[in-house]
Amino acid sequence: MIFDTHAHYDDEKFDPDRDELLLSLKDAGIGRIINVMSDMDSLESTRDLTERYPFVYGAAGIHPSDIRELTMEDMERVRQFCRHEKCVAVGEIGLDYYWDKDNPEQQRFWFEFQADMAREEKLPVIVHSRDAAEDTVSIAKEAGLADTGGVMHCFSYSKEIAKALLDMGLYLGIGGVITFKNARKLAETVEYSPLDRLLLETDCPYLAPEPYRGKRNSSLYLPFVADRIAEIKGITSEEVIRITRENAMRLFGI
């Protein structure tokens, strides 16, 4: 049974066939999904999915690209969702200096704020970080993520950054990018990282693996990711699926 630790099934790209697709996952061996919030609109849609489907869990948090208009009242609603029985993480939170270069201080403020909230609510974090490796590592240290626990989702940095995060006890989320032909650096990181610290994720509808690169992604394509990790590690895909599932159950307390 595959555990997809990062999905956005509330995205409008799933509007035409959301229920049909979600109901087909079990037969395809997908047993658990975390639907991750990104903006305030995704709070209710994520909560609805977790209440409708026993195998869907939620993560409560605001993505660094969606914090410009964020208020403390909004954050209070996010905190309330943290206390929902199906909410298992705070995320996605973090820094994105690739898409948003002009508000780094505002991004850091809300990353730290939500990391503190995760600790207070006793939930692990799901971190998004792009073009912001150094600031992410330093905030992770200052905010005590070694104690809070969490995953660096869609890990895309060097082996050195992986080491710094692994040393803090954090997990690395691996998705479709690992199947891309130009993903040599990421393949080195996967080879280097202990299997008991890796998680499978889609980030769907984004980042579909080969041979579906560029198409709409879904949990159905995760076997391609597991196969590539298995190839790098020299083990079977079944072992990758089993161990990453155990990792996710441990981290998210399911």
Site for Ni ion in 151-180 (CB under 5 A): none
Looking at the Cβ atoms of 10 and 203, the one nearer to Ni ion is 203
Please provide the size of the chain in residues: 254
Answer yes or no: are the C-beta atoms of 216 and 11 closer than 8 Å: no
Looking at the Cβ atoms of 91 and 223, the one nearer to Ni ion is 91
Distance, in Å, from the CA atom of 79 to the CA atom of 244, rounded to the nearest integer, reads: 28
Report the nearest approach of Ni ion to the CB of residue 203 (Å). 5
Looking at the Cβ atoms of 100 and 203, the one nearer to Ni ion is 203
Site for Ni ion in 202-241 (CB under 5 A): 203
Distance, in Å, from the CA atom of 161 to the CA atom of 155, rounded to the nearest integer, reads: 10
Q: Which residue has the tokens 């992604």?
A: 217
CB neighbours (10 Å) of residue 9?
25
Report the nearest approach of Ni ion to the CB of residue 8 (Å). 6
Report the nearest approach of Ni ion to the CB of residue 202 (Å). 9
Report the nearest approach of Ni ion to the CB of residue 41 (Å). 14
Looking at the Cβ atoms of 221 and 232, the one nearer to Ni ion is 221
Report the nearest approach of Ni ion to the CB of residue 177 (Å). 13
User: Residue 212: which residues within 8 A CB-CB, separation 6 or more?
Assistant: 221, 224
Looking at the Cβ atoms of 64 and 230, the one nearer to Ni ion is 64
**Tokens linked to 171:** 């997990």
Report the nearest approach of Ni ion to the CB of residue 201 (Å). 8
Site for Ni ion in 26-85 (CB under 5 A): none
Distance, in Å, from the CA atom of 254 to the CA atom of 251, rounded to the nearest integer, reads: 8
**Phi, psi of 54, deg, nearest 5:** -60, -30
DSSP 227-243: HHHHHHHTS-HHHHHHH
User: Residue 165: which residues within 8 A CB-CB, separation 6 or more?
Assistant: 137, 140, 152, 172
Distance, in Å, from the CA atom of 223 to the CA atom of 121, rounded to the nearest integer, reads: 33
**Phi, psi of 107, deg, nearest 5:** -65, -45
| Nearest residue (beta carbon) to Ni ion | 203
Q: How many residues bind Ni ion (CB under 5 A)?
A: 1
Looking at the Cβ atoms of 58 and 232, the one nearer to Ni ion is 58
Site for Ni ion in 180-209 (CB under 5 A): 203
CB-based burial of residue 117 (10 Å sphere; 0-12 exposed, 13-18 middle, 19+ buried)? buried
Looking at the Cβ atoms of 205 and 233, the one nearer to Ni ion is 205
- Give residues in contact with Ni ion (CB under 5 A): 203
